[in-house]
Amino acid sequence: MSRHITRTLLGASAVLVTGALTLTACGSGFSDGGSGGKGDSGELTSSDKPLNILIGSSGDAETTAVNDAVAAWSKDSGTEAKVTAASDLNQQLSQGFAAGTPADVFYLSTDALAGYASNGSLLAYGDKLKNKDDFYPSLLKSFTYDGKLYCAPKDFSTLQLVINTDMWQKAGLTDADIPKNWDELAAVAKKLTADGHVGLSMSGEYARVGAFMVAAGGGLTNADSTKATADAEGNVTALEYLKGLLTGGEMKFAADLGTGWGGEAFGTQKAAMVVEGNWITGAMKNDYPDVHYKAVELPAGPDAKKGTLQFTNCWGIAADSKNQKAALDLVEHLTSTDSQLAFSKAFGPMPSIKSAADAWKKDNPALVPFLDGADYAQGVPTAKGAADVVTDFNGKLGSLATGDPKAILDATQKNLEAIIK
């Protein structure tokens, strides 16, 4: 994932998917409603038409990996297929649907699902997947709309705590001090704060702060985005906790450190710890190779509850595709254990299927905490128009240190209720 992507609220393909991870609005405002979709998962179309695949790529490694996987499938199936790396995925998807010539298969972000599903642009093929039961249940929820599973999660990422091990040791801390709860996190953050750096940082947005809300039993919506829950007591508890860290000086948001995102704050050593996703490894390797670090699970919130956010994209199939049968077969190939592990080696994402977990952990021992988060992660809101609400919420979070957590959440609750009917 590029550094630009990590600065937006939807990280993800799980990692490394430019443009597909940003929360783009599916409607024009908080009051947008949705009409029932006509996309259906009945009889699939079949023809000798070639398949067009549209992806949002992070770079050559990802583009090459997808091209190779599609080419292998094409050779075995006898169906021609062409991969296009979009310069602006959301715009090109929208243009294709508007012109009646959409790609057959494409990257689709969680925030875009409701808009395209409600107007019938998408094929709801999820229940036809032979490997449906292999996907993590929380990922399937992110791509379920109006009771239908629309598409297969292609990969994912979670948030965890990343620690600068040199600063950790210099502060006299050991593995025994790795925080297991919020009180311990506050204590080590204070101990790690020194001239030139703070103990903890993260971007001032729901895509990071939300992990604490989940750990407190909250979240902006329920798991399937059918009910607004922004004003839940756990959310107030989480924001009050973070406000305390901000006012205490042991934490600063990345922007307040003069950096664009948490990874930059961490890499430039303006923060000893950061809440980030597994995509940070790419930035550390490429831009900050001399910074030593380790990843651990985020400390549990009240009642010893673990919590984090997950970010994902799926393989969408167009309702207007003339060769849906082949498209489905291709998606099953692209989400197979072998394909997902190959993608992981090529450009870093975590596999969206449970059967690949053991092999991935063996190949990526330092990143195991991120995959362990799959057991308790919560997706970001997927309701149509939620992007607008989150953007407004993010604007208020920037001044959390001087703001009223309850007032911020009450306003967000009203905005969410306006779009979730």
Of 383, 375, 366, nearest to 156 by C-alpha is: 375
* pLDDT tens-digit map of 340-363: 999 999 988 999 999 999 999 999
Q: CA-to-CA distance for 237 and 280, rounded, in angstroms?
A: 28
Are the C-beta atoms of 237 and 212 separated by less than 8 Å? no
- pLDDT at residue number 282: 85
For β-strands 271-277 and 198-202, DSSP reports them as parallel
Torsion angle of C-alpha atoms 356, 361, 362, 367, degrees rounded to 10: 150
Tell me the whole-structure pTM to 2 decimals.
Answer: 0.86
* pLDDT tens-digit map of 74-95: 999 999 999 999 999 999 999 9
User: How many residues are recorded in the chain?
Assistant: 421
* pLDDT tens-digit map of 232-279: 999 999 999 999 999 999 999 999 999 999 999 999 999 999 999 999
- Residue 44 reports pLDDT greater than 50: yes
**Structural domains in the chain?**
3-157+310-379 (3.40.190.10), 159-309+383-419 (3.40.190.10)
Of 242, 261, 268, nearest to 167 by C-alpha is: 268
- Side-chain-side CA neighbours of 324 within 13 Å: the count stands at 21
The residue-averaged pLDDT of 38-64 equals 85
- Residue 15 reports pLDDT greater than 80: no
Look-up of token digits 């956010």? 309
